[in-house]
């Protein structure tokens, strides 16, 4: 699972896909996660980090993470994956 | 004379091929020798061209569509007012007028003036009431009927011959040559602007329009008639010329006198081959082609601002006939950084 | 180290030409209580879902409406529209405020009598009045509002057998400039049917003409239409006076006032467009006072307002059952309130609120009910925060029609509670049980 190279993530939470000109907004945690994904962090590493930093249990976060990644996939931000 | 310092909020910055009146209004205000202006753009969408026109608009804030509800809408205006200290707002979007008229007192209490028609004037001229309006003020109107469902469309053929015009409550008008087309337009318009949708008799003739300003006491402060010379597929004028139509001027003065119209307005009429005038629609705001009136000698937005400030404005006595406008499109250059700033902060 | 407040991660696409986050309000509103009673407590004690009614709101709204009319017109009488909400507790609140009863069936008629309403304070409307109830109404001096010629002739036949005269009014339908024009009830004004039947009544020895009635439509946003209707009824009254030297004692303007709910297809929210009682009152009373009716003959003004008097007093509280992501990437939230309970969601964009403060982030969400039926949609699309399973929700403004038009479908109907003016809670209709339904059923012997 790798974020495509042409995805520019700005510190404000603005995401620009230079391939097709689409743009997106992220909230703060969304921004943190996307940056970690961009740096090739694994799901476990991300979960650990978020659960340690924020007031959330692993189960809830896993559900939300799954949903978030689903949206990233829906918006076509990952490099081609084979299922 | 010392110039009056004013901060004016203007909506309708969508200067596209279906233009809102915001940019022409600002251009007219900037022409005034009496004002020292700061113009605050109020934009609904992030690609309204006016947002990016830095020589005309000093700063733009995004605002929610009025469909969100008066409370949230006004809250956003209050936020903007706290930063900018607005003196006047000139709304230019039909669908927002109801909300602005309703909040008139509240806006005044926080120091923002508007210059709008009363609810009664506004509702009386509503497209769905056109036949009643024509009867009351003795003006010919095309036969028209509001439609709320397919069942109503089935009944139309008793009253209409094709073609007919199918119109939205606020915007959009399409011509239909048969029932299927009526249904298609009905679906399209009702999805966007809700019901009722208005079906109107199609009058053949020359379209003549009037931009006018009433002072709320029955006086016509300004009035300039224009004939559309070229019309886009959206029914918008692409070119127009001021004309010396006395009959139209008489009709306008009479209408403003009897209704005591307050604020800017556009009267759309069709003159048929016999020379009869049919009232098609009254738009309760300044139209996008207002700058033609300015060029012809009647700066209507400037006069409207003065009226809003409570000043006496003497009626314009004349205008230049034969002034023309030719609309053109132009590709402004923007940058993703501007788009990012607007998207993330709602301000630019 | 103290952990930071969590908010689920979210990504939104910026739609050009669509309002994005600053185009919309970012503040998520919540409703945590009804009349000071926490929603979570209501759910704990009375189950989920539960209908909640506020007696204070009912009384306040009624008094506001009454004041709007009585300050403008000398003789005003309200009649509670039973079909809007005929829970006995609700009817009794209105009767205690001075409302008569407006009924449209034998079932409702008996309910009004059981609620202690005098026969002479019952208005009987609608196209369905059986011979039995017409006779009963004559005996009880109730006001019978004739809907069609068949009913007129039935009434002549039945009244002839009675020692009493039938007190009647006619329902009139007319063009008031609004669409759609209701023409299925009553006698038309423009084509002369109304005048025709009035003449017949005046010539009948068994019928006594007491009033004129109209009900121009439902959810009417233009008060002016009521003015037009009142003028037309006043004109009929004047014609009756001129021809027969007879004074009509009341004009009944029916109901149809809008509530603050937003109709589907409306551009602006109902909260912004709904006229006030003052607006309606101004239009109606001006029309009557400015009519040619002589001041000493001014009729009593009767109002059968239902929706506008009760909608705001009702709430539905419920619970989130699940969240899912639809194939279109749209979020869907399933709650335990379905169209079986919220019948009005077929024509309103009901507001749905979280009960507890949650994330500021919202997403376009479809809210589904719990029924295993595709049409069970409470909101097609609403900006809604992500709630987790088990979170409570509340839907305000459900007091009109839902507690009468609800369906026993797939599941049973829940408790209805009333919070009285001292904030005491009363169950005014118990939740249904399987037993309630088995009691009505009969099994043929060969299947038992």
Task: Output b/e per residue, C347-368; b: 16+ Cβ within 10 A.
Answer: ebbbbbbbbeebbebbbebbbb
- The DSSP result for B31-71, as a single string, is H-SSEEEEEEEEESSTT-GGGG-TTT-SEEEE---GGG-HH
| Strand locations in C326-438 (E) | 331-335, 353-354, 362-368, 377-385, 392-396, 416-419, 425-429
pLDDT of residue C414: 97
Across C63-90, average pLDDT:
96
Are C403 and C416 within 8 A, CB to CB?
Answer: yes
Compute the distance between CA of residue C429 and CA of residue C418 in angstroms, rounded to an integer. 9
CATH second-level architecture of C33-52+312-432? Beta Barrel (2.40)
Whether A79 is covered by a domain: the verdict is no
CA distance A25 to chain C (A): 5
Q: Could you list the pLDDT tens digit for every one of the 83 residues in chain A?
A: 788 888 999 988 899 998 888 899 888 899 999 999 999 899 999 999 999 999 999 998 998 899 899 889 888 898 876 55
Of the candidates C4, C14, C325, the beta carbon closest to that of A54 is on: C4
Tell whether the model's pLDDT for residue C39 goes beyond 90. Answer: yes
Residue C390: exposure state from Cβ atoms within 10 A (0-12, 13-18, ≥19)? exposed
Whether A38 is covered by a domain: the verdict is yes
Least confident segment among B218-232, C50-64, C128-142: B218-232
- pLDDT one-digit tens code per residue, B308-323: 999 999 999 999 999 9
Q: Is C12 near chain A, with CB under 8 Å?
A: yes
Are B100 and B89 within 8 A, CB to CB?
Answer: yes
Q: Which residues of B touch C25 (CB under 8 A)?
A: 64, 68, 72, 75-76
Tell whether the model's pLDDT for residue B57 goes beyond 50. Answer: yes
The boundaries of the domain holding residue A11 are 7-74
The strand pair at B35-43 and C50-54 is best described as: unpaired
Mutant choice from B344, B346, B347, B348 vs A, greatest count of A C-beta within 10 A: B344
pLDDT band at C19 (very low <50, low <70, confident <90, very high): very low
> What's the ipTM?
0.92
pLDDT band at B163 (very low <50, low <70, confident <90, very high): confident
CA distance A65 to chain B (A): 23
Residue of chain C whose Cα is closest to the Cα of B71: C272
Q: Which residues of B touch A13 (CB under 8 A)?
A: 344
Compute the distance between CA of residue A39 and CA of residue A9 in angstroms, rounded to an integer. 12
State the helix-helix crossing angle for B300-308 and B22-31, rounded to 10 degrees.
80
Q: How many residues does chain A have?
A: 83
CA distance A68 to chain C (A): 6
Instruction: State how far the alpha carbon of B16 is from the alpha carbons of B11, B232, B242, B330, in Å.
Output: 14, 12, 23, 10
Whether A33 is covered by a domain: the verdict is yes
What residues does each domain of chain C span?
A: 33-52+312-432, 125-305
C405: Cβ–Cβ under 8 A, 6 or more apart, which residues? C343, C344
Chains that touch B (3 or more CB pairs under 8 A): A, C
Cα atoms in the Cβ-side hemisphere of radius 13 Å centred on A29: 25
pLDDT of residue C16: 65
Tell whether the model's pLDDT for residue B348 goes beyond 50. Answer: yes
- pLDDT one-digit tens code per residue, C3-14: 888 888 888 888
The strand pair at B324-326 and B237-242 is best described as: antiparallel
Q: Is B336 near chain A, with CB under 8 Å?
A: yes
B341 token code pair: 């700033």
Q: Which residue in this structure is represented by tokens 């940056």?
A: A35
| Domain architecture of chain B: domains with CATH | 4-115+331-345 (3.40.50.20), 151-196 (no CATH), 204-326 (3.30.470.20)
Whether A82 is covered by a domain: the verdict is no
CATH of C125-305, one of 3.20.20.10, 3.30.1330.30, 1.20.1260.10, 3.40.640.10: 3.20.20.10
Across B242-252, average pLDDT:
92
The strand pair at B277-283 and B262-271 is best described as: antiparallel
Q: Is A40 near chain B, with CB under 8 Å?
A: no
- Cis peptide, bond prior to residue B156, ω within 30 of zero: no
- Nearest C-alpha neighbor of C198 from the set C171, C159, C231: C171
pLDDT of residue A82: 54
Tell whether the model's pLDDT for residue C76 goes beyond 70. Answer: yes
pLDDT band at C25 (very low <50, low <70, confident <90, very high): very low
Chains that touch C (3 or more CB pairs under 8 A): A, B
Q: Which residue in this structure is represented by tokens 């008139």?
A: B104
> How many domains, in total, are found in chain A?
1
Phi, psi (5° rounding) for residue B121?
-60, -40
Whether A80 is covered by a domain: the verdict is no
Return the sign of the alpha-carbon dihedral for residues C105, C107, C111, C117: positive
Verify whether the Cβ–Cβ distance C14 to A26 is below 8 Å: no
Verify whether the Cβ–Cβ distance C179 to B128 is below 8 Å: yes
- Cis peptide, bond prior to residue B143, ω within 30 of zero: no
């Amino acid at each position: 699972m790798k974020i495509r190279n042409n995805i520019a993530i700005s510190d404000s939470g603005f995401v620009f896909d230079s391939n097709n000109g689409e743009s997106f907004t992220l909230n703060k945690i969304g921004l943190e996660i996307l940056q970690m994904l961009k740096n090739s962090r694994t799901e476990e590493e991300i979960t650990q980090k978020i659960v340690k930093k924020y007031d959330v249990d692993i189960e809830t976060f896993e559900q939300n993470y799954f949903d978030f990644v689903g949206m990233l996939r829906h918006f076509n931000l990952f490099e081609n994956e084979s299922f | 004379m010392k110039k009056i310092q004013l901060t004016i909020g203007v909506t309708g910055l969508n200067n596209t091929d279906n233009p809102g009146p915001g940019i022409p209004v600002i251009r007219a205000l900037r022409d005034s020798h009496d004002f020292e202006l700061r113009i605050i753009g109020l934009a609904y969408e992030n690609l309204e061209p006016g947002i990016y026109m830095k020589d005309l608009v000093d700063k733009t804030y995004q605002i929610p569509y009025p469909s969100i509800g008066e409370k949230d809408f006004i809250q956003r205006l209050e936020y903007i007012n706290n930063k900018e200290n607005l003196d006047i707002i000139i709304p230019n979007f039909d669908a927002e007028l109801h909300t602005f008229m309703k909040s008139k007192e509240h806006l005044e209490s926080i120091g923002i003036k508007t210059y709008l028609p009363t609810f009664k004037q506004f509702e009386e001229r509503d497209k769905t009431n056109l036949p009643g309006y024509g009867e009351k003020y003795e003006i010919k109107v095309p036969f028209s009927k509001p439609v709320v469902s397919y069942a109503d469309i089935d009944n139309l053929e008793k009253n209409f011959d094709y073609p007919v015009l199918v119109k939205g409550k606020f915007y959009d008008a399409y011509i239909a040559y048969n029932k299927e087309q009526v249904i298609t337009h009905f679906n399209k318009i009702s999805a966007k602007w809700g019901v009722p949708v208005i079906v109107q008799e199609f009058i053949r003739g020359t379209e003549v329009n009037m931009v006018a300003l009433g002072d709320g006491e029955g006086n016509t402060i300004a009035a300039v008639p224009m004939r559309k010379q070229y019309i886009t597929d959206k029914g918008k004028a692409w070119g127009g010329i001021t004309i010396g139509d006395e009959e139209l001027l008489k009709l306008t003065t009479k209408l403003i006198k009897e209704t005591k119209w307050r604020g800017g307005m556009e009267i759309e009429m069709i003159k048929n081959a016999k020379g009869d005038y049919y009232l098609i629609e009254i738009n309760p705001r300044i139209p996008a082609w207002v700058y033609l009136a300015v060029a012809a000698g009647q700066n209507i937005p400037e006069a409207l601002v003065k009226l809003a400030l409570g000043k006496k404005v003497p009626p314009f006595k004349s205008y230049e006939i034969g002034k023309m406008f030719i609309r053109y499109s132009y590709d402004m250059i923007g940058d993703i950084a501007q788009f990012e700033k607007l998207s993330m902060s709602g301000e630019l | 180290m103290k952990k930071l407040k969590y908010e689920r991660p979210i990504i939104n696409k910026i739609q050009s030409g669509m309002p994005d986050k600053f185009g919309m309000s970012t503040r998520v509103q919540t409703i945590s209580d009804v009349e000071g009673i926490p929603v979570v407590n209501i759910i704990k004690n009375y189950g989920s879902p539960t209908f909640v009614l506020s007696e204070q709101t009912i009384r306040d709204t009624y008094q506001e409406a009454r004041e709007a009319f009585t300050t403008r017109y000398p003789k005003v009488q309200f009649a509670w529209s039973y079909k809007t909400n005929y829970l006995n507790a609700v009817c009794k609140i209105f009767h205690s405020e001075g409302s008569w009863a407006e009924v449209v069936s034998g079932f409702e008629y008996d309910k009004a009598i059981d609620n202690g309403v005098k026969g002479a304070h019952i208005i009987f409307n609608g196209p369905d009045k059986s011979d039995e109830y017409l006779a009963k109404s004559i005996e009880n001096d109730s006001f019978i509002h004739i809907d069609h010629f068949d009913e007129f002739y039935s009434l002549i036949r039945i009244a002839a057998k009675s020692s009493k005269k039938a007190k009647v009014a006619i329902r009139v339908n007319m063009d008031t400039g609004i669409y759609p024009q209701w023409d299925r009830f009553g006698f038309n004004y423009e084509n002369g049917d109304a005048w025709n039947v009035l003449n017949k009544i005046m010539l009948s020895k068994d019928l006594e003409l007491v009033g004129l009635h109209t009900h121009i439509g439902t959810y009417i946003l233009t008060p002016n239409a009521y003015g037009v209707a009142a003028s037309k009824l006043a004109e009929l009254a004047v014609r009756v006076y001129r021809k027969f030297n007879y004074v009509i004692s009341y004009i009944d303007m029916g109901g149809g006032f809008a509530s603050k709910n937003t109709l589907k297809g409306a551009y602006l929210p109902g909260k912004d467009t709904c006229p006030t009682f003052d607006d309606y009152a101004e239009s109606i009373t001006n029309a009557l006072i400015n009519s040619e009716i002589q001041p000493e003959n001014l009729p009593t003004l009767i109002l059968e307002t239902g929706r506008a008097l009760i909608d705001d007093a009702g709430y539905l509280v419920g619970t989130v059952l699940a969240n899912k992501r639809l194939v279109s990437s749209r979020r869907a939230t399933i709650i335990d309130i379905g169209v079986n309970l919220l019948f009005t969601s077929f024509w309103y964009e009901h507001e749905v609120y979280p009960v507890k403060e949650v994330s500021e982030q919202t997403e376009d969400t479809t809210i589904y009910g719990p029924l295993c039926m595709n049409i069970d949609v409470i909101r097609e699309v609403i900006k809604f925060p992500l709630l987790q399973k088990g979170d409570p929700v509340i839907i305000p403004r459900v007091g009109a029609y839902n507690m009468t038009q609800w369906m026993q479908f797939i599941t049973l109907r829940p408790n209805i509670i009333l919070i009285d003016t001292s904030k005491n809670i009363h169950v005014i209709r118990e939740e249904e049980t399987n037993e309630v339904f088995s009691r009505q059923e009969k099994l043929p012997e060969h299947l038992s």
